[in-house]
Amino acid sequence: MDSKSSNKENIKNFWNNSPCGIRNVSEQEGTKEFFEKVEKNRYELDPFLPQIAQFNRWKDKKCLEVGCGVGTDFIQFLRGGADIYGVDFSEKSVSLARNRLELFGFDKERIKIADAENLPFPENHFDFIYSWGVLHHTLNIDKALAEVHRVLKQNGKICIMLYHKVSLVALQLYVFHGLLKLNPFRGIDEILANCLESPGTRAFTKAELKKLFKGFSDLDIQTVFTRTTCEKLYSKAA
């Protein structure tokens, strides 16, 4: 196995062992009560999410979620009437998400295992593509964004959240893993790659984002504070 394949397996293993959003959920995994608790936690921590994602805006529109995890946002789009499909790299996450759709009366075949760098959809296919806190975990974000661009319709919309390098979370990570370990010259990119979630995690400045998204038009970059990431940070530090 080459190093790239090995690194991808490490990323996959991380999310198979720690699907996003199920931390601190005591209900039996896979039950309705479990998924309801996951949903409650998500929107209590990040109450701004429904406003940004606009779950009810995409009725009858063909949509894609890249990195749907256990399906918490995905099912909101379905409830809003979107014709949405989802992919995730983690088999465990996809299994939970498909189970969730069945439990709540939706077609589980809408979600499949796939790599963001090789989306299994034709060109010019989706009206809207959503990806929240996912693509900064890919090995090749340029390729992943090229895939998003390929499958997006010419006048389609995207909503993509990536970690901000100039942030409170990045500062705290630098303090924990740089200053307090007497290594003040340790770079923030190295710290993020080794100390935040799956191996190789990245964050970006606004200038870097403009370069990343140069193939897209009408770019609107907004900064939001997500308590979900902070919760993961403090849990890991503890």
Strand order in the sheet with 152-161: 111-113, 83-88, 62-66, 126-132, 152-161
DSSP 31-96: SHHHHHHHHHHHHHH-TTHHHHHTTTTTTT-EEEEES-TTSHHHHHHHHTT-EEEEEES-HHHHHH
Domains along the chain? 3-237 (3.40.50.150)
| pTM, 2 dp | 0.90
Q: Please give the Cα distance from 14 to 12 (Å, whole number).
A: 5
Q: What is the pLDDT of residues 3-53, one digit of tens each?
A: 555 699 999 999 999 999 998 899 999 999 999 999 999 999 999 999 999
Crossing angle for the helix pair 72-79 and 91-103, to the nearest 10 degrees:
30
Q: What is the pLDDT of residues 48-94, one digit of tens each?
A: 999 999 999 999 999 999 999 999 999 999 999 999 999 999 999 99
